[in-house]
Every structure is written in structure tokens, then in C-alpha cells.
């Protein structure tokens, strides 16, 4: 008897890997999606996420999220939703853990800078770069480049934001290697990973924003979802000082969003009558979703967070400095490739666009602190603005 609902991705029916591998029990009794999850956890690019920006650049404070802790929180939320809906938890977890592996140093600021550096050579985006890292750059195996993940894991990462009409350079290259049906919706496991991502950062960014002193509770109460949650928390804990209730506010808001998503998605799956993952892909709409009311409230929360935290003046100044570092590294390595480490300079292609892409691959793999160090080697000691 199968352990999964009929609409779940079933490892026994995986479409397989680009390079055939011997099955067998030599590496433990694990199915293909468990092995993908484990490959990601053991990869160098996953470990580097511990020093990559989530919101706060190269944070000094040990309590702020970075891409690694964010990915772990996404995976926790994703597994909860997957289990409630009878989905494959291992595939969901693999997708949640890997979804940000393509992020360059300094988060969105670093991404914008690399996009500009590569504007004449196909651009840069972190989702496409995730595929490039996992299919080409991170290569721990003797016989092929990349982690040789299953089709389902690559599909889910390629379509993290749904069907892709116009794949960017890196995604198109991965799709040419192993066609990923980019025009279709991905599995429900991938759809869960995408919304678990939103639930995680909507909430942990509130927590970090308050901790950093860039957000205040009074400001946040202008957001209807938060105001309702705060009233409920206060009613449950009368007489407790507000500072002791902030953690409870964030915790309970995650629960409210997760419960809404599970109820709405269960109803959507039932109404669509899908009986297989192929029918999920052909459904023509996402079946993992918030209720219309929660979707509106979540969008309002995001608008608030962009205006008040992500684009806060402190953040903007720090982001400009980060962009200067990434652009400076790119310009330096373009002019003087010999200043790259041996493994990068000896494999540098002569012709464009491969040459610039190679330099961008090196920079995108850097952690925040490594990028700061390399830039310091080139430009001398750095005076970084507040917010770094
Ligand atoms: N400091 C700062 N953080 C930002 C900015 N834009 C987004 N973030 C943060 C907020 C969230 O913690 C996180 C969301 O970005 P992600 O790359 O993880 O997700 P996004 O929805 O942008 O793309 P994705 O779903 O991965 O395709 O990054 C920004 O302009 N400045």
C-alpha cells in the first residue's frame, strides 16, 4: 500500500536522473527523493548558506536569520503542510532546503549587481542560478558535474514561482539538458515549498525587523493580519507585558497561515479531482493556495514589509555598498583574471558569454564574508556603512 495520496509525487515513479546510477542498498535504504534531500544537505553550496544574507547584510547578531536558517524554517513549515495533505515529505523538504542555493552574497542587492554585470550576457537570477549550481557547479561525484538530482527535484526548483514562459539563460540551459516541462505547473510538493517560503519569511522578517529596531509593534499594527493576531494573543495572555508576547504573535501567525493554506488546498485538490501528479501538472492552476481573504492579507503584509523593512533607508545604504562590492569584484576579475583562485582562473573560457558567466559563477558562490574579504584584498580596508 502506498504511503502517499494519489496526487503526491511517488518516488517509485520518478522520471529518474540525467545520469543513470546503480540502485542498491550500498548507500542505505533510501528512495530517490530521500537521496536528493540528503545530497542537498551534504553539499558545499548548502553549507555556504550559513554566511549569506537573508535581509540583514552579513549580520553580526547571532540571532538574525541567514539563508541557511531561513531554509531550515521553510523546510519545517513545508513538511507540516506536506504531511497534512498526504504529499511526499522528502521531496518537499529537498525543495525547501535547496530553493535558495543560487543566491549570491548579499541577497537581493548582490543579485541586482550581478544582473547588471551580466546584462549583455543573459542576465542573472537566483532561481536560474540554483539550477546551474545543482546541475553543473557543485560537483562532488567522480563521473558527472552537479548533484545528479531527480527530474522531480529539478522540476520543482525550476518552477519555484510556477510555470515559466520565458526562461532566463541559466534555466534554459538546465531545461535543454533535461526538459522540465516548464510551461506546466509543478508538483504539489513544489507548490508547497513556494508558499512555505513566503510563510517563513513573512514571519521571521517581522521577528528580525523588531529585533533590529527597524520595525515597531505600533507600525505593524497597521497591517490587518497582524492587528487581528495581536488582539488574539493579548486576549489569551492578559496582563503579560507586550515584549513577552512578540514571539507568541509570530508563532501564532505562522499557525494561522499554515492552517488556512492546508484547508484551502485540501478543498482545491478535492474540487479539481486530481488523481495523479500528472493531473496536478495539467490542472492549469495552482492547487496549493491561501484562501482569497488570506491571500489579500498576506499581500498587504508584504507591501508593508517592502515599504518599511526591506526598503528602509538603513537597508538601502547597506545594499548600495554591497552592490559596489559585487560590481567591483566583477570588474576586477574581468580585467585581471589572474587574481582569481587557481581553480577558477585555469578554467576561465576565452570567449563571451561563457567568460563573464564563469566570473559570475565564482562571485555568486561567495558568502558575504568571503566577498568582503576578497574585495578588501583588491581595494584595501573597507569602511562599511551601518546595516552591514
Ligand atoms: N534587505 C532586503 N531584503 C529583501 C529585499 N527583497 C527581498 N528581501 C528579502 C525578504 C525575504 O526575506 C526574502 C525574499 O526573497 P527571496 O529571494 O527569498 O524570495 P523572492 O520571493 O524574492 O524570490 P523567490 O521566491 O526565491 O523566487 O528576501 C530587498 O530589497 N532588501
Ligand 1 mean position, distance from CA 108 (Å):
6
> Residue 66: beta bridge partners?
53
Q: What is the pLDDT of residue 387?
A: 74
Q: Give pLDDT tens digits for 52-92.
A: 999 998 777 899 999 999 999 999 999 999 999 999 999 99
* Mutational pocket test of ligand 1: of 57, 107, 203, the residue with most ligand atoms within 8 Å of the beta carbon: 107
Q: What is the pLDDT of residue 22?
A: 77
CATH of the domain at 287: 1.10.3210.10
* Mutational pocket test of ligand 1: of 186, 310, 313, the residue with most ligand atoms within 8 Å of the beta carbon: 310
Report yes or no: 101 and 339 within 8 Å, Cβ to Cβ.
no
Q: Give pLDDT tens digits for 295-318.
A: 999 999 999 999 999 999 999 999
Q: How much is the average pLDDT of 142-146?
A: 95
Total structural domains within the chain: 1
CA distance 122 to 166: 12
Report yes or no: 234 and 246 within 8 Å, Cβ to Cβ.
no
Ligand 1 mean position, distance from CA 234 (Å):
30
Residue 129's domain comprises 32-388
Is residue 20 domain-resident?
Answer: no
Ligand 1 mean position, distance from CA 240 (Å):
33
Q: Give pLDDT tens digits for 153-195.
A: 999 999 999 999 999 999 999 999 999 999 999 999 999 999 9
- Enter the C-alpha cell of residue 317: 545604504
Q: Residue 193: how many CA atoms within 13 Å on its side-chain side?
A: 32
Task: Decide if pLDDT at 329 tops 60.
Answer: yes
Is residue 24 domain-resident?
Answer: no
Task: Decide if pLDDT at 381 tops 80.
Answer: no
Full 3-state SS string of 214-260: CCCHHHHCCCHHHHHHHHHHHHHCCCCCHHHCHHHHHHHHHHHHHHH
Task: Decide if pLDDT at 24 tops 70.
Answer: no
- Which residue's CA is minimally distant from atom 22 of ligand 1? 108
Report yes or no: 111 and 126 within 8 Å, Cβ to Cβ.
yes
Task: Decide if pLDDT at 27 tops 90.
Answer: no
Ligand 1 mean position, distance from CA 107 (Å):
7
Nearest ligand 1 atom, CA 198: 21
CA distance 288 to 112: 30
Q: What is the pLDDT of residue 388?
A: 77
Is residue 16 domain-resident?
Answer: no
Q: How much is the average pLDDT of 268-280?
A: 97
Ligand 1 mean position, distance from CA 10 (Å):
31
Q: What percent of the chain has pLDDT over 70?
A: 98
Ligand 1 mean position, distance from CA 21 (Å):
36
Note if the bond before 143 is cis, omega within 30 degrees.
no
Task: Decide if pLDDT at 1 tops 60.
Answer: no
Is the CA virtual torsion 142, 144, 145, 151 positive or negative? negative
Under DSSP, the state recorded for 353 is T
Is residue 386 domain-resident?
Answer: yes
Measuring CA to CA, which residue among 250, 258, 259, 240 is closest to residue 220? Answer: 250
Is residue 7 domain-resident?
Answer: no
Q: What is the pLDDT of residue 25?
A: 59
Place of cell 546551474: 132
Report yes or no: 327 and 116 within 8 Å, Cβ to Cβ.
yes
With residue 179 as reference, give the H or E element that holds it.
Answer: none
CA distance 324 to 31: 45
Under DSSP, the state recorded for 351 is S
ipTM of the complex: 0.91
Q: Which residues line ligand 1 (CB under 6 A)?
A: 54-55, 100, 107-108, 126-127, 160-161, 197, 201, 205, 310, 315
Task: Decide if pLDDT at 107 tops 80.
Answer: yes
CA distance 93 to 74: 8
Between CA 276 and CA 15, with CA 288 as vertex, the angle to 5 degrees is 40
- What's the pLDDT band for 47 if we cut at 50, 70, 90? very high
Is residue 138 domain-resident?
Answer: yes
What is the overall mean pLDDT for the chain? 95
Give the predicted TM-score (pTM) of the model.
0.96
Q: How much is the average pLDDT of 29-36?
A: 95
Nearest ligand 1 atom, CA 194: 25
Is residue 6 domain-resident?
Answer: no
Q: What is the pLDDT of residue 231?
A: 98
Is residue 5 domain-resident?
Answer: no
Ligand 1 mean position, distance from CA 130 (Å):
15
Nearest ligand 1 atom, CA 65: 12
Amino acid at each position: 500500500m502506498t504511503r502517499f495520496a494519489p496526487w503526491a509525487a511517488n518516488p517509485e515513479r520518478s522520471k529518474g536522473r540525467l545520469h543513470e546510477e546503480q540502485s542498491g542498498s550500498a548507500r542505505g535504504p533510501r528512495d530517490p527523493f530521500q537521496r536528493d534531500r540528503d545530497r542537498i544537505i551534504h553539499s558545499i553550496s548548502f553549507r555556504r548558506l550559513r554566511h549569506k544574507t537573508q535581509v540583514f547584510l552579513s549580520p553580526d547578531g547571532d540571532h538574525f536569520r541567514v539563508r541557511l536558517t531561513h531554509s531550515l524554517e521553510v523546510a519545517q513549515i513545508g513538511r507540516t503542510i506536506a504531511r497534512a495533505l498526504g504529499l511526499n515529505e522528502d521531496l518537499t523538504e529537498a525543495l525547501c532546503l535547496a530553493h535558495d542555493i543560487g543566491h549570491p552574497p548579499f541577497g537581493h542587492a548582490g543579485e541586482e549587481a550581478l544582473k547588471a554585470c551580466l546584462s549583455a550576457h543573459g542576465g542573472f537570477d537566483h532561481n536560474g542560478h540554483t539550477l546551474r549550481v545543482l546541475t553543473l557547479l557543485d560537483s562532488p561525484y567522480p563521473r558527472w558535474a552537479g548533484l545528479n538530482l531527480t527530474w522531480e527535484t529539478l522540476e520543482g526548483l525550476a518552477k519555484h514561482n510556477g510555470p515559466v514562459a520565458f526562461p532566463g539563460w541559466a534555466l534554459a540551459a538546465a531545461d535543454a539538458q533535461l526538459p522540465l516541462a516548464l510551461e506546466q505547473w509543478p508538483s504539489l510538493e513544489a507548490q508547497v515549498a513556494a508558499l512555505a517560503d513566503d510563510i517563513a519569511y513573512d514571519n521571521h522578517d517581522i521577528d528580525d525587523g523588531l529585533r533590529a529596531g527597524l520595525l515597531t509593534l505600533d507600525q505593524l499594527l497597521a497591517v490587518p493580519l497582524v492587528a487581528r493576531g495581536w488582539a488574539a494573543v493579548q486576549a489569551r495572555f492578559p496582563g503579560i507585558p507586550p515584549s513577552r508576547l512578540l514571539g507568541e504573535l509570530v508563532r501564532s501567525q505562522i499557525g494561522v497561515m499554515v492552517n488556512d493554506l492546508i484547508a484551502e488546498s485540501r478543498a482545491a485538490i478535492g474540487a479539481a479531482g486530481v488523481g495523479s501528479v500528472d493531473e496536478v501538472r495539467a490542472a492549469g492552476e495552482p492547487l496549493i493556495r491561501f484562501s482569497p481573504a488570506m491571500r489579500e492579507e498576506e499581500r498587504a503584509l508584504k507591501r508593508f514589509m517592502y515599504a518599511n523593512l526591506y526598503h528602509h533607508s538603513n537597508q538601502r545604504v547597506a545594499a548600495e555598498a554591497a552592490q559596489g562590492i559585487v560590481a567591483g569584484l566583477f570588474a576586477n576579475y574581468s580585467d585581471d583574471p589572474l587574481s582569481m583562485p587557481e581553480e577558477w582562473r585555469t578554467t576561465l573560457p576565452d570567449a563571451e558569454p561563457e567568460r563573464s558567466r564563469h566570473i559570475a559563477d565564482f562571485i555568486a558562490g561567495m558568502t558575504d564574508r568571503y566577498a568582503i574579504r576578497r574585495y578588501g584584498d583588491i581595494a584595501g580596508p573597507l569602511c562599511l556603512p551601518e546595516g552591514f
